[in-house]
Amino acid sequence: MVAAGYAAIDDSPSSDGWPIAIRIVRLSDGMSWQILNRNFEHAVEWRIDRPYALTCDELFPRADSKSHIDLVRGRLDSLGPGVLPD
């Protein structure tokens, strides 16, 4: 998914088909951030599934649980220091 100068993709799919993380890349300079699922190998209450929507300010990933599907919202300016491209 690409929008407003950023790309968001599933990163490192797990063996059970759940993504372990979402990677966000700023297209202007290649700086990237990874949002990791916690305890992805164990039963958890909910975990991030995949990016659903992206704006210039926020990422809206889909989050699944055993009973329902929701959207969560994260501000791009709260991601902290990113990783420089190689």
At 13 the pLDDT is 62
At 6 the pLDDT is 94
Q: State how far the Cα of 13 lies from the Cα of 19, in Å rounded to an integer.
A: 4
Q: State how far the Cα of 4 lies from the Cα of 22, in Å rounded to an integer.
A: 17
At 70 the pLDDT is 85
DSSP 8-state symbol, 81: S
At 71 the pLDDT is 85
At 39 the pLDDT is 55
What's the pTM?
0.76
Comparing CA positions, the residue from 23, 24, 19, 59 lying closest to residue 40 is 19
10-residue averages of pLDDT along the chain (86 residues): 90 65 92 77 68 91 81 89 89
